[in-house]
């Protein structure tokens, strides 16, 4: 069951990832519609559980019932994706995110990433938050740009994704830009 609320939006809630959530995370990482565009390899439950021990801030993107309280949810809480704030302890935080395919295009991703950006700036004394998107992933690039992220560079041939080497666009969003936005 998803953990405590980290951030609440109009339609989604970011909840802390708990050990019990590893099955949902593993199903997501095993889904070709998610894994192939991310260039991720298939991971076992044990590998997912081990990754929960690192320093990253990991959240489930959830659709909560209206009676789900601020701590552990009492109502129905449906996870639809994940957002991670990585590397904040030693460099600028980097966001990673994914949603289950059945909710793509409904605006949940933009809201979840926006909540994660706000969380990163509230939690860490950092001037910039970053994210990456593969060149062919127009939806992810558009999401970042709609939130005010600026493309800062391209990592050429960065990852082998679904049978081809693809470029990866590196994005950044400054604290001052976020606060003005």
How many helices (H) and strands (E) in the chain? Answer: 6, 8
Q: What's the pTM?
A: 0.87
pLDDT, tens digit (0-9, with 9 covering 90-100), for 117-158: 999 999 999 999 999 999 888 999 999 999 999 999 999 999
For residue 122, what is the domain's CATH number? 3.40.630.30
Instruction: List the domain range (segments joined by +) for residue 158.
Output: 5-180
User: How many folded domains does the chain comprise?
Assistant: 1
CB 147 within 8 A of CB 117: yes
pLDDT, tens digit (0-9, with 9 covering 90-100), for 93-111: 999 999 999 999 999 999 9
pLDDT, residue 40, reads 60
d(CA 62, CA 16): 10
């Amino acid at each position: 069951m998803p953990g405590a609320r980290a951030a609440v939006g109009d339609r989604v809630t970011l909840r802390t990832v708990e050990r019990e959530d590893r099955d949902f995370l593993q199903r997501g990482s095993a889904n070709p519609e998610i894994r192939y565009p991310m260039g991720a390899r298939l991971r076992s439950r044990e590998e997912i559980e081990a990754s929960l021990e690192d320093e990253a801030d990991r959240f489930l993107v959830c659709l909560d019932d209206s009676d789900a309280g601020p701590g552990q949810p009492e109502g129905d809480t449906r996870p639809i994706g994940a957002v991670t704030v990585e590397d904040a302890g030693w460099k600028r935080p980097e966001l990673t995110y994914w949603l289950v395919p059945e909710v793509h295009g409904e605006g949940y991703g933009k809201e979840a990433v926006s909540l994660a950006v706000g969380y990163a700036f509230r939690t860490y004394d950092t001037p910039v938050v970053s994210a990456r998107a593969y060149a062919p992933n127009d939806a992810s690039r558009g999401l970042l740009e709609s939130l005010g992220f600026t493309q800062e560079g391209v990592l050429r041939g960065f990852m082998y994704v679904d049978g081809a080497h693809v470029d990866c666009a590196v994005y950044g969003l400054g604290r001052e830009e976020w606060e003005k936005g």
